[in-house]
Amino acid sequence: MGFLSSSYSRAQEMILLYTVTSAVAFLARGGDQVLESWPGTKKEECPRRGSCTDTLEYTVGVVYMQVISAFSLMVAAMVAFKGVQARLCAMGVLICVMTKHLTIDGLVPPPPVMAMTAVVLLTNLLAPEVWGKRTFVGFCLLNAFTFVLNPLMVLTDTFAEITEGSPAFAIGKLCLEVVGLYSFVLGILALAPSPAPICTALAWTSCVPVIMKHIYLDQGGPPLPMIVFYFASIVMCWYEWGWTNLKPAAEKAMAAPMKLHAIIMWAGFVPYFIVEGLGGSFPLIGYKELDTTYKYTPATAHLNLILAVFTAIIAYEEYSLRMQGKMFAAYHWAASCAITFWQVHPSTTPVGRLFWMAPHFFTTWATYIILTLGKDKLL
C-alpha cells in the first residue's frame, strides 16, 4: 500500500508529489524563481522620470513559469485520474491559466492553442470516448513538437516584441522546452485507458534528455533535490513495470523491426564504425559532418572499433531472433534518451540530427507493438 492512497502505485505517488510540489513552488515563488533560474535576468527598467516597469525578459519568465506549473498539474491530473475524467481535469487546469493571463495579465495566449483547447474540451464532453482521447493526444503531441521546434512563433503570438537571440527569447525558449516536454508526457499517459506501469515509465523517462540538457548545457534545470527525486521516481517506475514478458503475439511481431534493424546495422553501421575507427570518413555523413567538435584520436578510434564489434553482435542476436522483444524495446528506449541528449547539443549539425533519427523510428515501432499487442499484460 502506498503513502497517499491504495489506488496509486508508489511510482505514481512519487510523480504526483514531484509535479504538484514543483507547480506550487513555482507559483508561490513567481519572480524569485525566475531570478534564481536565470541569475543574469534584469528585473526592472527604471527611466529617469516615471515609475519602474518589469523588463520583457522578466515578464516572459514569470508568465511561462505559470504555464510550466499548469502543465505540471496537468500531468498530475493524468496520473491521479482515469479516462475522460483525467483529460477534462487536465484541460480545466489549462483553461484556468489561460483565463488568468487574459483577464488579469492582459496577455493573449497563442490563438491556435486556445482554439485547439476549445476543440479538445468539447470533444471530450460531447463526442464518443475514443474521439476525446484522440483529440487530446493529438493536441498534446502537436504542441510538444511546435513548442520545441518553433519557439519564436509561439512566443511572438503572445509577446510580439520578442526577437530571436534576445534575453527574453532565451528564457522563453527554455521554458517552452519544458512545456513541450510535459505535453509529450501527457500524450503518452493518455494512450493508456488508465494509468499503466509501462505508459508511466515511458512518459516519465522521456523527460531525461531535456533535464540533462538544462543541467549540463544550459547550466540550469530543477533544484538539486528535485533532480534526485526525479531520477528516484524513474527507478521506481521501471521497478514496478518489472521485466515483464510480452504476449506471444507482441513477441512475434517484434521480429519484423528486429530483423530490419539488424540488416541496417550490418550493411550500414558496422562498416561505418570500422571506417571511422581506422581514420577514414564517409562523405556527407562522416562524424566530422555530424558534430563540429569531432576529432579523430586514438580514443575515438578505440571507441569506434569497439562499437563495430558490439554492433555486429547485437545485429546477429536480433536477426537470429535470439534477442527477446522486450530487450529490443528496452535498449532502444535507453538509446533514444542518449541520442536525443546528443542531438540537442549546439555542436550537432542538422545532418547529424537527421542521420541519427533512425533509432527513434525503431523505438517508436517497438513501443507501438507493446502498447497494442501487449496491452492486456502491460496496460
Mean pLDDT calculated for residue range 75-93:
91
| Residue 276 confidence (pLDDT) above 50 | yes
Cα separation values, 182 from 36, 85, 205, 369, 378, Å: 22, 19, 12, 23, 22
Sorting pLDDT into bands at 50, 70 and 90, what band is 194?
low
CA geometry: angle at 357 spanning 346 and 281, to 5°?
Answer: 75
What is the DSSP-derived secondary structure letter of residue 246?
P
Say whether 348 sits in a helix, a strand or coil: strand
Is the same domain home to 148 and 272? no
| Residue 376 confidence (pLDDT) above 50 | no
What count of other Cβ atoms lies within 10 Å of the Cβ of residue 217? 13
Per-residue model confidence (pLDDT) at position 196: 62
**Domain of residue 114, residue span:** 10-241
Is the same domain home to 205 and 305? no
Is the same domain home to 307 and 338? yes
Mean pLDDT calculated for residue range 352-379:
80
Is the same domain home to 214 and 287? no
Position 211 in a domain: yes
| Residue 1 confidence (pLDDT) above 80 | no
State the Cα–Cα distance between residues 216 and 56, nearest whole angstrom. Answer: 26
Is the same domain home to 173 and 281? no
Mean pLDDT calculated for residue range 282-301:
92
Identify the domain boundary among 216, 241, 266.
241
Model pLDDT for residues 159-172, shown as the tens digit of each residue? 999 998 899 999 99
Per-residue model confidence (pLDDT) at position 247: 84
Instruction: For the chain, give the mean pLDDT.
Output: 88
Mean pLDDT calculated for residue range 94-103:
93
State the Cα–Cα distance between residues 290 and 292, nearest whole angstrom. Answer: 7
State the Cα–Cα distance between residues 347 and 344, nearest whole angstrom. Answer: 9
Per-residue model confidence (pLDDT) at position 3: 41
